[in-house]
Amino acid sequence: MEQLNFQRELVERCIEGDRNAQYNLYRMYSKGMYNICLRMLNNSMEAEDVLQESFMDVYRKLHTYKFESTPGAWIKRIVVNNCINKLRKKKLHIEEIEEGRYVADVIHEKEDYKYEVKKIKKAMSALPDGYRAIFSLYAMEGYDHQEIAQIMNISESTSKSQYSRAKKKIRELMSS
């Protein structure tokens, strides 16, 4: 409860234009949000740019925040949307598939724990943008396929297919 009061007070001070509060909000969330940008964009300079743009959006839109989720979840949504917009500008390639078709996972989820995080990150960086974005949103950020479909303006089955293909590609890259 104390944490919620602190966050509410911090957000309210940010809305009033308090620069110290804005800096504190940035310090609280910037590292985690940068990591999201880096995972999705696979480029540190672009990640830094999108992070800065995202926090500018946060400060501009903070008056619309309704305290229905944590400030971090609200900021994360802005960051993810800005990453997707950046990828779209770079001509993000996502293969649409017919509704109802779904490429099944080749390897079971239980085998995933065997891989080391560093190897997965390295393999992720080699994925095409579309695969990496969907893999990041699903596996790393916790979005479900319905949410990803809405965010990226694709079908749910396309999200599932791209995720499955991304996992398969990661496994291939890790085994070579």
Q: Above pLDDT 90, what percent of the chain? A: 48
Q: Above pLDDT 70, what percent of the chain? A: 84
pLDDT tens for residues 18-55? 999 999 999 999 999 999 999 999 999 999 999 999 99
Of residues 125, 126, 130, the one with CA closest to residue 94: 130
pLDDT tens for residues 151-169? 888 899 999 999 999 999 9
* Distance, C-alpha 150 to centroid of its chain: 14
Q: What is the mean predicted confidence (pLDDT) over 6-15?
A: 92
Q: Is the pLDDT of residue 149 over 70?
A: yes
Q: Is the pLDDT of residue 90 over 80?
A: no
Computed over every residue of the chain, the mean pLDDT equals 84
Q: What is the mean predicted confidence (pLDDT) over 72-87?
A: 93
Q: Is the pLDDT of residue 101 over 90?
A: no
pLDDT tier for residue 1 given thresholds of 50, 70 and 90: low
Q: Which domains does the chain have, with CATH numbers?
A: 2-89 (1.10.1740.10), 109-175 (1.10.10.10)
pTM over 0.85: no
